[in-house]
Amino acid sequence: MANEYDAIIVGGGHNGLVSAAYLARSGARTLVLESRGSLGGAATTESPWEDAPHLRVTRLSYVVSLMPPTIVRDLALERHGYKVHPMGPYYQAFPEGGSLTIFEDDPKRTHEQLAKFSKKDADAWPKWNEWLEGIAEVMGPLLTQVPPNIGSHKPSDLIDLAKLAWSQKGITTRMTADVTRLLTMSIADLLDDWFESPQIKGALAVNGVIGTWAGPYEPGTAYVMAHHSIGDVGDGQLGSWGYPEGGMGGVSEAIARSARGFGAEIRTNARVSGLKVRGGRVHGVVLENGDEIAAPLVVTTLHPRTAFLDQIPRHELPDDFVRDIEHWKTRSGVVKINLALGELPNFTADPSSGIAEHLTGSVEMAPTMEYIEAAFQDARVGKPALMPFSDGVIPTTLDTTLNPDGTHIMSLFTQWVPAEWADAPHTEELDAYADRLIDLYDEVAPGFKSSILHRDVVGPHEMEQEYGLIGGNIFHGELSLEQLFHMRPAPGFADYRTPIAGLYNGSSATHAGGGVCGIPGWQAAKAALADRKRANGRLRAALSRRS
């Protein structure tokens, strides 16, 4: 039957595509429904400029690190075009003169660089990295763990909890203390314990506030730094960040090719308006155009507010669960600015022409922790940051496939504007915000402003309306402590299952999300397949009892 499938995936972002590939690989007749005209969700490569349709931009997310090698292998992603160019060093040119470059793979050069600001900090650097590696050993493997249902007395949940505790048996008192600190401290307090130089602390603070509605002095930001720095998903590889070939849309395209290869069908311009739920079980979906499609298994990868509050009749869900999703925190105040450049920036501190090494990694505007904090304080009181911070990259320095005509694309991930800006476009104010940031780069790299050929400013409202990122949060929900691990997205439902039988959750609002890692989509498919196997086993046992 044309409108009957074994499995439907709602949302063709990278997680939905991963789920689809795994389910199709298991032999399920699988359909992906994506509302937009193109796939990838927040992992997308697009051409935003009508007057330059040939220019391609990695429009929202911009670097990849956390995709587990197992997913890459299982889905043969490399054969389908997945390729990552490891990015270059961290670079910050300071308004008062000078610069800082951090080479992750070159301790000697990094020591020289750090010693320009503090000999003590330069000496502390290797120990800091060792400390982070220790943290990665503990926390990395947890990313691919299914969170236990803490507090449940069901024997299977108690066994899961015991297994998790057993897997952590090698952890020492010292490691537990380090992880506790990481989970509870602000990135500012953590860095104050290690370093003295404002410039070096500025460099390390950025990862603590990426995508976060919190300044560096807020508790919990140390964990956000770990989520972004560790890069080890406990799957045999300590990852480093890199530019996927063809932009982030290249990642989604590779996964889509794999899913199609396993037999999945993918429809775009197919907005799901609701799920068909009766008696606590899902039976399929209804599209915006009124079409109904049946399936006994549905994986939703939408923001939890949309998935549960808009697409399922309220009476089908437990009150506690509804309350948890209503209280889900989903702010971030992020603005993405994409620029097409006629020429690469030439920083006064490090004059260059062409593709210099310091342009191949992060090209930051986050000189100190105090600077970053001031940007948050502006937004907290309802104003766009007077001096926004920016995590900039120029992927075209390494990925020449993106724009073969040689035009460079600079992608600026910036913060903050007020979280409430998700409610309205604020177009003119966003333009003024972008102007201010561009002026800041121009100050340290004169001529930068005049090198801009095109610009594209994506604020929280567009992220919500166009991409379904409610509140403009880049991860489908904040990475704050009360929304992590067994609490993501709600207590009792962190195992990628939902209160509705047959409905699974593979969105970034589950454990290991956000980020472009595919883990939620993978785990949701695994949960669905395990349940199917168990149900088939029960059916076989019942039949054999009868015969």
Ligand X SMILES: Cc1cc2nc3c(=O)[nH]c(=O)nc-3n(C[C@H](O)[C@H](O)[C@H](O)COP(=O)(O)OP(=O)(O)OC[C@H]3O[C@@H](n4cnc5c(N)ncnc54)[C@H](O)[C@@H]3O)c2cc1C
Task: State the minimum distance, in angstroms, from the CB of residue 393 to ligand X.
Answer: 8
> Three-class SS string for 148-211?
CCCCCCCHHHHHHHHHHHHHCCCCCHHHHHHHHHHHHCCHHHHHHHHCCCHHHHHHHHHHHHCC
Tokens of 105: 């793979």
What tokens appear for 454 in the block? 């095109």
The least distance separating ligand X from the CB of residue 45, rounded to whole angstroms, comes to: 12
Minimal distance, residue 345 CB to ligand X, in Å: 20
Q: How far is the CB of 33 from ligand X (least distance, A)?
A: 5
Task: Please name which of 395, 511, 414 lies closest in space to residue 143, comparing C-alpha atoms.
Answer: 511
User: 541: which 2 tokens?
Assistant: 């046992």
Q: How far from 139 is each of 77, 277, 325, CA to CA, in Å? A: 25, 37, 26
Q: How far is the CB of 198 from ligand X (least distance, A)?
A: 26
Choose between 16 and 198: whose C-beta lies nearer to ligand X.
16
Non-local (6+) Cβ contacts of 214 within 8 A are 220, 221, 224, 376, 480
Helix, strand, coil distribution of the chain in percent, nearest 5 = 40, 15, 40
- Strand, helix or coil at 386? coil
Residue closer to ligand X (CB basis): 13 or 418: 13
In the complex, the smallest distance separating the C-beta of residue 507 from ligand X, rounded to whole angstroms, is 5
Nearer to ligand X, 298 or 438 (CB): 298
At closest approach, how far in Å is the CB of 239 from ligand X? Answer: 11
Strand blocks (E) in 394-486 = 408-415, 452-458
Residue placing its CB nearer to ligand X in the complex, 272 or 363: 272
The residue count for the chain? 547
Nearer to ligand X, 185 or 272 (CB): 272
Q: d(Cα 95, Cα 357) in Å, to the nearest integer?
A: 20
Question: Measured from the CB of residue 353, what is the shortest distance to ligand X in angstroms?
Answer: 28
The CB-side HSE value for 512 (13 A sphere, CA atoms) comes to 31
Residues that bind ligand X (CB under 6 A): 10-16, 33-36, 41-43, 60-64, 271-272, 301-302, 306, 334, 336, 413, 463, 467-469, 474-475, 507-508, 513-516
Q: Kindly state the DSSP code that residue 146 receives in the 8-state scheme.
A: P
The smaller minimum CB distance to ligand X, of residues 9 and 122, is found at 9
Q: Which residues contact 197 (CB under 8 A, 6 or more apart)?
A: 114, 117, 118, 121
> φ and ψ at 202, to 5 degrees?
-60, -45
Cβ proximity to ligand X: between 125 and 243 the closer is 243
CB-count burial class (<10 Å; 0-12, 13-18, 19+) for 386: exposed
Phi/psi at 232 (5° precision): -105, 115
The candidate with the shortest Cα–Cα distance to 202, out of 391, 347, 358, 351, is 391
Question: Which CB atom, from 437 or from 474, has the smaller least distance to ligand X?
Answer: 474
Q: How far is the CB of 478 from ligand X (least distance, A)?
A: 12
**Nearest residue (CB) to ligand X, 336 versus 532:** 336
Q: Smallest distance from the beta carbon of 510 to ligand X, in angstroms?
A: 9
CB of 484 to ligand X, least distance (A): 14
The least distance separating ligand X from the CB of residue 270, rounded to whole angstroms, comes to: 6
434 closest CA partner among 365, 358, 500? 365
Residue 102 DSSP SS3: strand
The residue (of 18 and 55) whose beta carbon lies closer to ligand X is 18
Q: What are phi and psi of 135, to 5 degrees?
A: -65, -40
Q: Which is nearer to ligand X, 172 or 465 (CB)?
A: 465
Distance in Å, CB of 331 to ligand X, minimum: 13
User: Residue 130: in which H helix or E strand, if any?
Assistant: helix 119-142
- Nearer residue to ligand X within complex by CB, 181 or 271: 271
- Alpha-helical (H) ranges within 210-361 are 221-229, 248-261, 304, 319-326
Residue with Cβ nearer ligand X (16 or 502): 16
Strand pairing category for 99-102 and 90-93: antiparallel
DSSP H/E element including 494: none
Give the shortest CB-60-to-ligand X separation in angstroms. 4
Closest to ligand X by CB, 93 vs 272, is 272
- CA-wise closest residue to 42 among 12, 75, 81: 12
